[in-house]
């Protein structure tokens, strides 16, 4: 059977997409760029600086912002986002996740986190889940972002598990692509995910017997 499960954070453990959206919307409005919920969906699983690049492109203003100006905008967005995170607690854990983490731990299956969010440690702490994870990738030390497999390979190395022995769970296309490229098996949460080994509508459907059945297919 599998030796590890490596989780994405946003969209799998908790869903802070609406908070990222509020923060980006305010920052973008400040420089005259309007973004809507449909555009926001394209930022799922995309790193902070890459999200900013997409927003500037969307507004046709990418050429007007150099590295320093971008750093200021990203810092402004993050300050808003961190403010919005203040209300986060255990109630924000997505359905089925606490039970799954508990069941995996009981079976001695290693648990990893592969989030590109630089706020991941603070979010896990707010959710009361820090001690549940055997290894969390430090996103600040990555050279390449999803869909590159680096983040999942780093998580496997940290857990001392071969990628071929691990399952990755993701809600974003870039994340599914990263898992597949790493040699792990992929589980997708949501719709419009291409190439996932298994796709579920909701985290509520996740449990160990289901993952075992998927593993043996």
Contacts to ligand B16 by CB under 6 A: 8-11, 20, 43-48, 51, 78, 115-119, 172
CA distance 93 to 79: 22
Identity of the residue, 8 or 177, whose beta carbon is nearer to ligand B16 in the bound complex: 8
Decide if 198 contacts 168 (C-beta within 8 A): no
Pair type for strands 185-189 and 135-136: unpaired
Residues with active-site annotation: 8, 10
CB of 180 to ligand B16, least distance (A): 16
Give the residue, chosen from 4, 7, 10, 104, that forms a contact with Mg ion under the rule CB under 5 A: 10
Identity of the residue, 33 or 48, whose beta carbon is nearer to Mg ion in the bound complex: 48
CB of 199 to ligand B16, least distance (A): 17
Decide if 123 contacts 9 (C-beta within 8 A): yes
Identify any residues that bridge with 187 across adjacent strands, giving them in sequence order. Answer: 169, 198
- The yes or no reply on residue 8 touching Mg ion (CB under 5 A) is yes
Residue 203's binding partner out of Mg ion, ligand B16, none, with CB under 5 to 8 Å set by partner kind: none
CA distance 70 to 194: 32
């Amino acid at each position: 059977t599998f030796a590890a499960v490596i989780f994405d954070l946003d969209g799998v453990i908790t869903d802070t997409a609406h908070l990222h959206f509020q923060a980006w919307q305010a920052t973008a409005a400040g420089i005259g760029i309007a973004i809507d919920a449909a555009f926001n969906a394209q930022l799922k699983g995309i790193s902070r600086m890459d999200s900013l690049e997409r927003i500037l492109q969307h507004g046709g203003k990418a050429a007007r912002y150099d590295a320093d100006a971008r750093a200021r905008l990203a810092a402004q967005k993050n300050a808003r986002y961190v403010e919005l995170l203040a209300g986060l607690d255990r109630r924000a854990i997505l359905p089925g996740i606490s039970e799954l983490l508990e069941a995996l731990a009981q079976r001695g299956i290693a648990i990893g986190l592969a989030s590109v969010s630089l706020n991941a440690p603070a979010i896990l702490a707010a959710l009361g889940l820090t001690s549940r994870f055997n290894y969390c990738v430090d996103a600040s030390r990555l050279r390449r972002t999803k869909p590159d497999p680096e983040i999942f390979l780093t998580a496997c190395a940290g857990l001392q598990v071969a990628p071929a022995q691990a399952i990755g769970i993701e809600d974003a296309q870039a994340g599914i692509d990263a898992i597949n490229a790493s040699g792990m098996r992929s589980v997708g949460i949501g719709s419009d995910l291409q190439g996932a080994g298994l796709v579920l509508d909701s985290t509520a459907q996740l449990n160990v017997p289901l993952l075992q059945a998927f593993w043996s297919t």
